[in-house]
Amino acid sequence: METKFQLLKEQKFPENLEKKLISSITDKQVTTIWYGRVYNLYNTLHNLKVLWLRVKNKEEVTKVFSKEYIKALLEDKNTHIVLLDDNDFELQDEIGRSFTKLCLGGTLLLYKDDNCELPNDYCYSSDVKKYKFKYIETYKLLSSYSDDFIKEETSGVSYLYLKFFEYDLSVIETMLFGTTNTQCNLTERLLLLERIFAPIKTLFIKTDDNLYYIIDSIKRDSETALYDDWALALEKVQVKLHNIVIQLLDKIELDSRQYKIKSKGKTKKKKVFKYLDKLLPLIKSKGVEEIYKFHEVVTFENERTAKHFYLLVLTTKEEVDEMQKVIDSFSCKDENVRFTIITHSRLFIQRYSFENIHFFENVIKEENIIYSNGYYPSIHWMDNYDCDYSETAFKLDYPISKINKLIKKNIINPKKEGFISTNKLHRCLYIKLQMYVLFHTNYLPHTTNLKTLIDLAIYADNENASKLSKLFSQLDSFLLTYTQKNTTQKDNNLILNNNTIDSLKQFFDFIDA
């Protein structure tokens, strides 16, 4: 008996897991055990290990390996348990046995009952192709239902989409795990698949609690689902998920062929951003996910042509503040290249998508990506939104009324030449610039960096770009630089002479016009 379980014991499983496995084998409920990783289609790294148990009766074995136990094992030991019965292997026989060949064939056989044979692993790629066609037919049928709902403006189509996703996930699970994971809810199924199949990460944005933003919104707010605020976003997810399934089946069909055929199709070379190397200090910073180039201009300065690029850096929520510090201190050594950079987390943009849609929808486009280090979801845009920049203005660090009083007292109507702290001047400048950008783009910048805000103001009001540039040039560059470097100085450390007051007055008058 010891020899029978020797290989199993060598894996050093947790004691309670080892006991459950041996007990199930002794009770003749488990006949075969495989242990290893899910077939890696795209050579992406994942550490999840799987125990596949061939069982006689899933219902009986579930009493030993409950859903709660399997979930706890996954969280604690990064090991997942999958139960397979005769029905599962009969289905695999029908759809080509690609799972048996590609997945189980590359794992460690820990145990096999002497009275049971291993499943046939001779793969028929033609059956995989038939399964794909069957999937496409079912997909078209389900799509017709959702199309009818939308055409007739029937409320609740969001719920239909969520059910629709379960069918697509079942196909992926059948090909990678050997069976469906229907005992878990949609969120749990997605989270598990993300760990072994990276393209799933491109579907939904997650919250801090590891929930999916749209799915959680629909569950928490019945009106959101009833009025189908997320219907358009869900439709896009549906199309993306469908393409993921097709690509998966095509790849499995190709990999399961007895004789490999080289693909004749030429892969398109992705256009590489010419100046990406100049962004290396930024790219190497912790938390950077993607970089988008949303605007570029050519300027002529000192008889020299310079290229100016506007970039959005998407970063993890935890690193936004640190990333802003990196951006504020970032400078390109090449005088012929300039960058204006803003940064946000993906979740922030999602949460405030209804406020910033007019800005970010034109920025976060696939054609604008110049750097990405992995698989990331798109922003989900709501169908119904009401953009009102006046509401966003309440998120300013200081009320605009207080800023206006400060400007009026020190700049518009000064009693005489005097002093002002760089802290107060910086506050007036950055709040006014933020408001200016917000008014013209429906986007409230979070940065307080004056150079970045000036560049954003020029971008925001392109028609008056030359006027703005002239006004900014009238402001002494030393004044702006000194103010930016001494934002915490609250003593009156800055002299406001008549020339400085006149330049500031012209600037604020134009900004408020």
Mean pLDDT, each 10-residue run in order, the chain (513 residues): 80 95 95 94 81 97 96 96 97 95 92 93 92 95 80 74 94 97 95 95 92 90 72 92 97 85 62 91 91 92 85 89 82 82 93 86 95 94 68 84 90 78 94 93 92 93 84 80 90 85 89 79
Instruction: Return the H-helix or E-strand segment holding 505.
Output: helix 498-512
- As a 3-state breakdown, the chain gives helix, strand, coil percent values, each rounded to 5, of 55, 15, 30
Q: Are 433 and 457 in contact (CB under 8 A)?
A: yes
What's the pLDDT score for residue 209?
81
DSSP letters for 476-489: -HHHHHHHHHTTT-
DSSP, residue by residue, 44-79: -----EEEEEEES-HHHHHTTS-HHHHHHHHHHHSE
Look at the alpha carbons of 277, 279, 285, 289 in this order and tell me if their dihedral is positive or negative: negative
Which residues, 6 or more positions from 88, have their beta carbon under 8 angstroms from its beta carbon? Answer: 178, 179
**pLDDT for the residue numbered 416:** 65
Chain mean position to CA 198: 12
**Phi, psi torsion values for 307, nearest 5 degrees:** -100, 135
CA distance 511 to 513: 6
Contact 344, 353 (CB under 8 A): no
> What integer pLDDT is reported at residue 78 of this predicted model?
95
Tokens of 49: 């290990």
Question: What is the C-alpha separation between 249 and 168, in angstroms, rounded?
Answer: 12
The closest alpha carbon to 338, from 385, 304, 288, 373, belongs to 304
Closest CA to 290 of 346, 356, 207: 346
Alpha helices in 442-476 (DSSP H): 450-460, 465-474
The CA distance from 296 to 459, in Å, is 9
Can you name the CATH fold of 6-112? Beta Polymerase; domain 2 (3.30.460)
| Whole-angstrom distance, CA of residue 227 vs CA of residue 305 | 52
| pLDDT score, position 495 | 84
Question: Residue 262: what pLDDT?
Answer: 62
Rounded to the nearest 5 degrees, what angle is found at the Cα of 29, between the Cα atoms of 26 and 34? Answer: 90
User: What is the C-alpha separation between 377 and 240, in angstroms, rounded?
Assistant: 10
* DSSP code of residue 289: E
- Indicate if the alpha-carbon torsion angle 451, 453, 459, 461 is positive or negative: negative
Structure tokens, 40: 């890696």
How far apart CA 196 and CA 179 sit, in angstroms, is 15
Q: Which two tokens stand for residue 276?
A: 């990406």
Q: What is the largest CA-CA distance in the chain?
A: 102
